[in-house]
Homo-oligomer: A and B are copies of this chain.
């Protein structure tokens, strides 16, 4: 049986959203056990005895890592926090994957310092799946686990993400591109020029450089990036989309009755766009290169993204991604 260790206390809507998602998904994943880490009383209130079955286990913990906690210090000082105890379960082989909505830095630290890197992986990278205009979606890696990157890290991230895109998202021969400040092969600083060469010489389906304005089109299935500018790209598209949709809503509500009527009539069209750019269905961001899947969803997530993320983790386990990486990168 696959076992997912779940930090039930991290995130704004925890633990309720977590438990709702687990109860919703478990019948679809009969071969998976969900181990919830968190406050005994709180979890008991939300989990009456009749809802507990062999797919569900609760491990009581007494502390919580907050968003304000300094990550590395927190995982050292809050030994009995839901996140740290869950990570230790994975480390000790009592669970196969770790999920949390809590403090991102602390979760990365749990992955790197408690569960540990895969042998041969130089630096783990954080990889979300984002929606695209052509509905295919794409993976971008690294989006901020590393402030400083080297060409050989970028190559490994691209390799892992390409494998993920193929096995977990079902993309045939994923197109891999390098996030750069221009399309020509000599663009960027030394880091990006060197990364370009390494990607070109690899056996990946490398299609060259990609610029910031092209990532959302679906031109590439995998965007490899240094961790700093990957973070900037991810947040810039998030910020722009939030600002535009907010302005649209505002404008539809404050332009008189006829506009409000129009807004009612275009509800389906707006719904279509919501579906197209729905990030929830792609699951959470995976810390790639760790000895087990370590997956994060946004701290404001409700039940829905968590539900999809648990399915995503289950698929990663089914596809034995980690075993494959262990074999590939130990060469």
Contacts and interface: CB of A to CB of B under 8 A. Distances in A.
A27 interface: no
A189 to B, nearest CB: 4
Contact of A213 (B190, B235, B246, B248): B235
Mostly, the A contact residues are: helix
Contacts of A229: 228-229, 232
A252 B211 CA distance: 28
A68 to B, nearest CB: 11
A188 B232 CA distance: 11
Contacts of A259: 265-266, 268-269
B273 A266 contact: no
A216 B232 contact: no
A186 B18 CA distance: 32
A226 to B, nearest CB: 9
Contact of A237 (B133, B240, B273): B240
* Chain copies in complex: 2
Given A247-B133, A248-B269, A252-B266, A213 B228 contact: no
Contact of A212 (B133, B236, B273): B236
A92 to B, nearest CB: 32
Interface in A217-240: 217, 227-229, 231-240
A214 interface: yes
A181 B233 contact: no
Contact of A228 (B188, B215, B246, B262): B188
| Highest count of chain B CB atoms <10 Å: which of A232, A246, A270, A276 | A232
A247 B277 contact: yes
B243 A269 contact: no
A329 B256 CA distance: 52
Contact of A133 (B132, B246, B252): B246
Contacts of A265: 258-259, 261-263, 265
Contacts of A234: 212
A212 B232 contact: yes
Nearest to A213: B239
Interface in A268-287: 268-270, 272-273, 276-277
A185 interface: no
Contact of A239 (B188, B217, B244): B217
A245 B248 CA distance: 10
A36 B268 CA distance: 51
Given A213-B239, A236-B212, A241-B240, A231 B269 contact: no
Given A144-B181, A268-B255, A269-B251, A233 B231 contact: no
A51 interface: no
A251 B270 contact: yes
A52 interface: no
Contacts of A238: 212-213
